[in-house]
Amino acid sequence: GQQLNQSPQSMFIQEGEDVSMNCTSSSIFNTWLWYKQDPGEGPVLLIALYKAGELTSNGRLTAQFGITRKDSFLNISASIPSDVGIYFCAVTGTASKLTFGTGTRLQVTL
């Protein structure tokens, strides 16, 4: 089945640093989504990307839809402690089914 590979798997950063993570697939997709999941909670949509090459921001978060439509990138600028959590990329398929990536666990140290 479809598989989305995210890297890095986990990362430790210091408060104030910028963060970059990516998501790759062997298949082409027309919509890429980025979610954040806090412990004990469901995923929350951060950014949705609908067009190849599109660059979209949401506050300190910026995401790009790769030009090949097989990848996407998420950047977080000036990280703060509440950025801690697991970040998932996701793509859409038939019946609006979401396929999630393997996740990137982010931990921020003071």
Binding interface with another protein (CB under 8 A):
1, 4, 31, 33, 40-45, 48, 88, 90, 92, 94-103
Q: Which two tokens stand for residue 22?
A: 């990516």
Residue 108: CB minimum distance to another protein, A: 20
DSSP, res 28: -
Which residue's CB is nearer to another protein, number 41 or number 82? Answer: 41
> Which one, 12 or 50, has the nearer CB to another protein?
50
The residues near 43 (Cβ < 8 Å, ≥ 6 apart) are: 35, 36, 37, 88, 100
